[in-house]
Amino acid sequence: MLAGIPDSTIQLVVTSPPYNIGKAYERRSPLTGYLEFQRKVIGECVRVLHPRGSICWQVGNFVDKKAAGSIIPLDIVLYPIFSELGLKLRNRVVWHFEHGLHCSKRLSGRYETVLWFTKSDDYHFNVDPIRVPQKYPGKKHFKGPKVGQYSCNPLGKNPGDVWTFPNVKNNHIEKTNHPCQFPLELVERFVLGMSHPDEWVLDPFAGVGTTMAAAVKHGRRGVGSELVPSYNFVARERINAAFSGTLKGRPMNRAVYDPNLAGPSMRSVPWAVSPSKEYPIHQPTQLVLLEPKARYRVRAS
Ligand SMILES: C[S@@+](CC[C@H](N)C(=O)[O-])C[C@H]1O[C@@H](n2cnc3c(N)ncnc32)[C@H](O)[C@@H]1O
């Protein structure tokens, strides 16, 4: 698919390649073979990229089971490939999410990264469409020539390089048959900040078509490839939904779920004794382990 795209025609590449960790759609290979494959795809992406264009490569960790589960952050091992191809790193965006596998031999992983590269120093970037609400919109200059005027940009602030979006798990409105699809809003930020309407956005590992759907939603053109037919089928449906304005998605800039808003029924401690004056059930509690395999006793802290 990539070989059929002419040089310098794509404004933006947003992708998440297989991580080589044994997901349903991938066959594990030694890290060197994996990097060789990535080098080929990245080389082609650079060839088709417009001189003012950007590449956003989203990855997590390779877990090396042969080395007792030690982790290799894939952005670290992929960076030299981009650098050797002459690309410039503009940001390493940390995407933080609050749910995922619970690890027992290390801290549970709660972020992945997106490396944003440009092909030249003259690249397209517009922060205005991706500004987020100011923390203190009413703040004013208290001295100097602008005293009394609002000190912050009324359009909002730069979103920074740490983004918190829920990952797409079972209850997420965007959930499909894919085990690790992008949240739409992650791609939307790149599409809006790094491309203009009508320009081409590419995802060589398209999955269920999130990148293309986000591109179409915002008036760009999308192109991508995916090996698994059932993901392609869903990708087509989502792209069609984006054309007709019915694409399901979490609105951009919606605050992440706050458990305090769930009310006491969700925040009570189910294994605590029933509510009483002495141990009100909604009070913060402390666990005391009595002996191995014994039950936990809960007391108010
Ligand atoms: C991490 S997933 C990407 C998910 C995608 N970002 C989304 O939102 O749905 C990587 C995808 O790459 C696909 N893939 C793996 N090797 C491929 C190849 N050689 N060509 C095209 N797709 C490939 C896998 O089937 C998988 O769906």
- Can you give the residue ranges of every domain in the chain? 2-134+160-244, 270-300
Angle at 117 between CA 112 and CA 122, to 5 degrees: 150
Bridge partner residues of 112 (DSSP) = 95
Instruction: Please identify, by atom number, the ligand 1 atom nearest to the C-alpha of residue 18.
Output: 10
The model's pTM is 0.87
Reduce the DSSP state of residue 285 to 3 states and report it: strand
What pLDDT is recorded for position 271? Answer: 65
Atom 22 in ligand 1: residue holding the nearest Cα? 226
State the distance from the centre of ligand 1 to the C-alpha of 206, rounded, in angstroms: 5
- Ligand 1 binding pocket includes 181 (Cβ within 6 Å): yes
- CB of 207 closer than 6 angstroms to any ligand 1 atom: yes
The CATH code that applies to domain 2-134+160-244 is 3.40.50.150
Supply the residue whose CA is at minimum distance from atom 18 of ligand 1. 227
Structure-token pair, residue 264? 């006491």
Q: Provide the residue-wise pLDDT of the chain in tens; the chain has 301 residues.
A: 999 999 999 999 999 999 776 666 666 667 888 999 999 999 999 999 999 999 999 999 988 777 788 899 999 999 999 999 999 999 999 999 998 989 999 999 999 999 999 999 999 999 999 999 998 988 899 999 999 998 889 899 999 999 999 999 988 999 999 999 999 999 999 999 999 999 999 999 999 999 999 999 999 999 999 999 999 999 999 999 999 999 999 988 888 877 777 666 666 766 665 555 555 545 455 555 555 555 545 455 4
From ligand 1's centre to the CA of 71, what distance in Å? Answer: 21
Phi (first) and psi of residue 88, to 5 degrees = -110, 130
Residue 223 C-alpha from the chain's centroid = 20
pLDDT of residue 68: 81
Residue nearest to atom 14 of ligand 1 (CA): 205
Question: How remote is the CA of residue 195 from the centroid of ligand 1, in Å?
Answer: 22
- CB-CB contact of 155 with 131 (8 Å): yes
- The pLDDT value recorded for residue 49 is 98
Question: Residue 140 Cα, ligand 1 centroid: separation in angstroms?
Answer: 48
Cβ 227 under 6 angstroms from ligand 1: yes
Task: Please tell me the distance from the alpha carbon of residue 300 to that of residue 298, in angstroms, as a whole number.
Answer: 7
Q: What is the pLDDT of residue 138?
A: 87
What is the reported pLDDT for 259? 73
Residue 21 beta carbon below 6 angstroms from any ligand 1 atom: no
